[in-house]
């Protein structure tokens, strides 16, 4: 009498387990890639938020204030040359308080405070002050910003440039 055994052979079990292992590994790879992609988008979004904060913080005071100097050159020098460029800007508000903007260690400083967090590195920081008789002054501010990872590695970066019309600048 020939009895049939029920169940699976060892070869069949090993084959099924191998196929399932390959499917799990493939699925995990796709899952980790999607996580990494979403974190890059999040880092880019945080970089944009940081730079918008820097731009709005600087714009508010500069628009309502009066430019005192760029790299130590005052308004008279600006009138003679038509424009000045530099990395240090001094602005005076309507109460007579001066604020100095400059780049220090990859961060934009405003007096004793920093406008950007340590997670964003700023480079190529430049002010261009255009002034002329009978018209409002224009100030162009440009910089490059990079997101920094926890390990100090550079993430997404972008260049920013914006113009401000200075209201209290014409003689």
Residue ranges in the chain modelled with pLDDT below 70: 1-4, 35-38, 133, 167-171
CA 59 to chain centroid: 16
* pTM summary value: 0.72
Q: What is the pLDDT of residue 1?
A: 53
Q: What is the pLDDT of residue 165?
A: 85
Edge-to-edge order in the sheet of strand 107-110: 66-70, 89-92, 98-104, 107-110, 113-114
Q: What is the pLDDT of residue 38?
A: 59
Asked whether the beta carbons of 142 and 123 are under 8 A apart, the reply is: no
């Amino acid at each position: 009498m020939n009895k049939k055994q029920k169940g699976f052979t060892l070869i069949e079990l090993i084959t099924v387990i191998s196929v399932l292992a390959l499917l799990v590994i493939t699925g995990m790879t796709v899952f980790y890639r999607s996580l990494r992609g979403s974190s890059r988008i999040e880092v880019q979004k945080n970089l944009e938020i940081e730079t918008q904060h820097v731009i709005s913080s600087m714009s508010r005071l500069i628009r309502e204030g009066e430019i005192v100097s760029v790299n130590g050159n005052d308004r008279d020098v600006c009138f003679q040359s038509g424009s000045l460029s530099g990395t240090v800007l001094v602005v005076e508000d309507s109460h007579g308080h001066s604020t100095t903007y400059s780049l220090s260690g990859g961060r934009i400083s405003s007096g004793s405070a920093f406008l950007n967090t340590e997670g964003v590195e700023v480079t190529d920081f430049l002010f261009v002050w255009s002034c002329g008789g009978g018209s409002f002054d224009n100030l162009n501010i440009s910089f490059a910003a990079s997101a920094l990872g926890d390990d100090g590695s550079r993430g997404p970066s972008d260049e920013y440039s914006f113009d401000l019309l200075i209201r209290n600048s014409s003689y």
